[in-house]
A = this chain, B = another copy of it.
Amino acid sequence: MERFEEVVAEVRKRVEPDDDERERLQQVARSLAERAENAIADLPVEADVIQVGSTARGTWTSGDRDIDLFVRFPPELDRETLESYGLKIGHKVLPEGHEEFAEHPYVKGEFEGFDVDLVPCYHVESATEIQSAVDRTPFHTQYLEARLDDELADEVLLFKQFLKGIGAYGSDLRTEGFSGYLAELLVLEYGGFRALLEAVADWHPPVRFDPEDHGTETFSDPLVVIDPTDPERNVAAVLSPENFARLQHYARDLLSEPRESIFVPDVPEPLTPNEVSEFVADRGTTPVAIRFDAPDVVEDQLYPQLQKSLSGVADALSRRGFEMLRADLFADETAVLFFELSVPERPAIERHDGPPVHVRAHATGFYEKYEADDSYGPFIDGDRYAVERKREFTTAVEFLESDSIFDAALGVHVEKTMRRGYEVLSGDGIEELAKEFGSELARYFAPKP
């Protein structure tokens, strides 16, 4: 057997659930559906229960313990009633469950060893009539169920495991990768895992698919897959350019050097504080960080908030002359915005260009302002006035510790948290981060595609 096929065969063994596992899951799913139907019977409403997601479509990988059940209510039902019924049913089905919030509040809980989401939605005629995003999910399941036979479902498993291995699986806003639905549509498009990889290796963005040939919109994303159940939607809308490139990189990598390790997520050994210092010394850079309590919001809010704040502070630092090699964010109990600066200090002065001298009123105003203060100049450079004026902050730490940091574009929850207090770390203080974020720092200092 060819090396690629050997590797894939090994992976297949690991990810394909065996008959026992499949049977066990179906049993639990059935019993959950019954409990839900019983709960519906107590309510003055017609509704049905539908299992959705990869466990419904046989595209789950061995060990997955997620069961998603949707309760579909008539579209005439007002939203408030739908939510209240949904929670009632949820709590009956999952007595130990707790409420979470996506498009609607819903109940999440454990049941016989499985992680169960019980989500209310509207039972609409077609995906174009949906009243909320979750209403679309049952249509996805129907579309794929009709098209994925067992063999294709197995190919999907391989691709999903591959995406997990390279860290690009998940359409959450932390990962910005490939959703299960997107992965399945791509396998369907190319008819198998290997054919997909071979095509991906040569993709030139923008890459566009429209399986039902009904798309009505244009998108600027690198990958566009028009939702077969909704002509206005790009299923790959959250995919980042990095994950597009990552898929290409590892597709080529697996094809040229087939090996199982690519299918296994890489969890680097956490760095020790000492190792962090060694990396910093080797790189000759000046890392600084701000740390605060992670804002208490769901991950899909947290990461965009932190990302926005990271860019905002990075911009504010750059504008003040503190260029950086790279920046990153880490979040767990605390959240950290980490900036690896090129230099520890800036000069006491900075250049400031004025207007062209020939723009008389403006130029005279500039000249008079800076002639009167302790700047060097004004002098003339090219056709303009210029001065060298005192710099407000000569170190990044001074800026980060000052109130000016709140002029940076921060996520609203991040700003709120930071106003309650934050820490600025630099020098030896950076080592400390290894205690909470050793793995993240290992990934940062040994970056891979």
Contacts and interface: CB of A to CB of B under 8 A. Distances in A.
Interface of A: 201-205, 222, 241-242, 244-246, 248-249, 252, 282-286, 321, 325-326, 342-343, 345-349, 351, 356-358, 360, 364, 367, 376-385, 388, 394, 445-449
- Assembly of this chain: how many copies? 2
Contact of A245 (B249, B364, B384): B384
B449 A376 contact: no
Which residue of A347, A356, A446 has the most chain B CB atoms within 10 A of its CB atom?
A347
A448 B446 CA distance: 50
B348 A383 contact: no
Given A446-B376, A447-B376, A356 B245 contact: yes
Interface residues of chain A: helix, strand, loop or mixed (majority):
mixed
Nearest to A247: B357
Contact of A449 (B201, B379, B445, B449): B379
A377 B447 contact: yes
Nearest to A443: B379
A358 B248 contact: yes
A445 B245 contact: no
A163 to B, nearest CB: 15
A348 B282 CA distance: 7
Contacts of A347: 283-286, 325, 342-343
Contacts of A325: 347, 349, 351, 388
B358 A203 contact: yes
A143 B369 CA distance: 45
Contacts of A252: 360, 364
Contact of A343 (B248, B346, B357, B380): B346
Contacts of A205: 358, 383
Contacts of A446: 376
